[in-house]
Each structure stands twice: as structure tokens, then as C-alpha cells.
Amino acid sequence: MNQPELEAYLDEALPAEEMARIEDRLRREPELLAELAAINARRDAGVHSLGEIWRRHRLSCPPREQLGGLLLGTLPRAQAQYLRFHIDIVGCRLCQASLADLENQQAEAAEAVQTRRRRYFQSSAGYLNR
């Protein structure tokens, strides 16, 4: 994608179809979004932050399963990068909250497993000592 195209996108001066196509690419390509933000920052009147661009164009939040995959480290690299970008750089509050929530759930689940293991060990030990 070339710069004039991105400039036109920022001006919302493209046909709807073209806008949608670029938005779709921005969702999948963090580098492209960063490039867009850089162009925006170079503009004299460009006072928009990356977060503003994001909100203005309503680049969508990833589904919750993807956030879960991010925690588990099971996502393809590009997708994980996109999510990190969305959460850490853009600073999406919604996804930050979901991620914290998922982290708590995982910690609780891990604790439950440990408790089960401990109980099992204790009961086996008791059995062996008899």
C-alpha cells in the first residue's frame, strides 16, 4: 500500500469499498497501522494519536478466544503481535480488562490443579505409611 492511499484513507476520501479493504488490512497488519500513524503524526494538523485513529475507524477488538490463545501462547505469531499491539500500544481498555479477567481464571484453574495434586499425594502417602 502506498502513502497517497493511506493519506486518502486518513482523509476518508476513498470509496467505501476501498476504505473497508484498507481497514481490513489495518486489522491484520500492525506495521501498516504504525505507518498510518506516522503519516498522521507528520501532518501539521495531525494531532491524532494512534488510539484516536483506532477508535475513529473502529478497528475491532479480537474475540475472547483469541485473548485466551494469547495467554496460552497458542496463537500464530502475526496474530499475537496484532493483539499485543492492540492491547499494549493502542491500549484498548476493553481488551485489557478481558485479558486480566482471563489471567485470573487461569490462575484459579492452576491453583485447583495443584490442590488436587496435593490431596492425591497426601492420600497416597497416607496409604503407603499404613
**Which positions from 16 to 55 touch Zn ion by CB under 5 A, shown as an x/- string?**
----------------------------------------
Compute the least distance from the CB of residue 4 to Zn ion, in Å. Answer: 29
Residue 100 beta carbon to Zn ion: minimum distance, rounded to whole angstroms:
13
Among 32, 61, 80, 102, binds Zn ion (CB under 5 A): 61
Question: In this structure, which long-range contacts are made by residues 56-63, counting pairs with CB atoms below 8 Å and at least 24 apart in sequence?
Answer: 57/23, 57/26, 59/23, 59/26, 59/27, 59/33, 59/86, 60/27, 61/86, 61/92, 61/94, 61/95, 62/86, 62/95
- Window 87-106: residues binding Zn ion (CB under 5 A): 92, 94-95
Torsion region of 125: left, alpha or beta (phi above 0 gives left; psi -120 to 50 gives alpha): alpha
User: At CA 121, angle to CA 120 and CA 125, rounded to 5?
Assistant: 120
Nearer to Zn ion, 6 or 92 (CB): 92
Please report whether residue 83 would count as binding Zn ion according to CB under 5 A.
Answer: no
Interacting residues toward Zn ion by CB under 5 A: 61, 92, 94-95
